[in-house]
Chains A and B, each alone.
Chain A
Amino acid sequence: MNHEVFMAGFGGQGILLIGNLLAYAAIREGRNTSYFPAYGVEKRGGAATCTVVVADGEVGSPVIGNPGAAILLNPLSMEKYFGRVRSGGLCIVNSSLIEESGESRSDLRVLRLPLNELALEIGDARLLNMIAIGAYAELTGAVSLDALKAALADALPERNHRFIPLNVQAIDLGAAHARAALGAAA
């Protein structure tokens, strides 16, 4: 099974970190993976995007025109990339920043989560990326939640390992919201 996910936001929202995390989790599960980051020329505050592919066989292209899933964290990303998600795919949208506009697609599963507010609930606004990746893993099964949590030790620099429990909490929160949304849809 191949999973491709495209993630986009602005610099500082932690897009590259969760892209890395997903790739490390895939490695931990013995899968093949590619993580391709792209970011603006500026060192801070520019656009940040990345594509992660998780595959059982050989990973082909590290870039995907119409990915099977997307995580979009800010309005600009929504504007640019929402239309590209493959029909039948999944899109996780940060509703804290992205207003429900006229744009909608009936051919996608769209999960709107108020990521900024949810992150504040567990005490740190910076955790919104972890909530998003927890929801993604839960909905797609690309990697297990356990692998994702274990990979925190790989993806976070040593000095931030003391925040691992908080990140685990955020991943679980994202997964819980994803399950709730699934239940509601069922």
Chain B
Amino acid sequence: MSSALQQVFAHPVSLKDVQTHFCPGCQHGTIHRLVAEAMDQFGVQDRTIGVASVGCSVFLYGYFDIDVVEAPHGRAPAVATGVKRACPDKFVFTYQGDGDLAAIGTSEIIHAANRGEGMTVFFVNNTTYGMTGGQMAPTTLPSQKTSTSPYGRNVANDGYPIRMAELLAQLEGVAYSARVAVNTPKNVVQAGRVVKQAFETQIQGRGFSFVEVLSACPTNWGMDPLTANARVAEEMIPYFPLATFKDTSAA
């Protein structure tokens, strides 16, 4: 009988077997795992170069067992441009939060995407600056209270949350752009599929691929993990719809 036993669940090889620094209920861990599973499935761990950003995801190299270059805040797409141009046969990805990618790094992400750099970007949108303590982010929802929008985000003063996946889908250089969430088992499975689509886009040399992942930040939202998870469904998904906005392989 034992020979018929089949392993159906295991720790991804590309992910180190260590404890993370992420808060309870944080979904970075889930997203890390989805990326690592894709890395294993495509067998690219040994030829992957990750580019870490600044924020909660800064310790990328501590969790992924891959080569990593650390980038200044917001600059990961520019650093990854240098990496991918220097090593065009490697799998190159960035992993960035919403302050990093959609505020201080807006210029770098738009132009890397527009050049059609053959990299993959994982964008974790949790509507706040996590590591610095829950300040307002470019993705903070209207009326959402944060430590720098104590009365709620006032769009008359602060402008509107940016929908990056839709915005980037407009650019010619972008081959794949989608938004997913990891708040339910069904959404996690779908997110895993999308992450693999993004990997495939790069591996097939079709251009720039982008996956936005809606993520909970219970600590900075001041919620317990289940309530935070519920907020993803009730508040975030209505504003940030889950969809594939561009996929050149489908054309």
Q: Direct contact between A and B in the complex (CB less than 8 angstroms)?
A: no
- Please list the residues of chain A having a beta carbon within 8 angstroms of any beta carbon in chain B: none
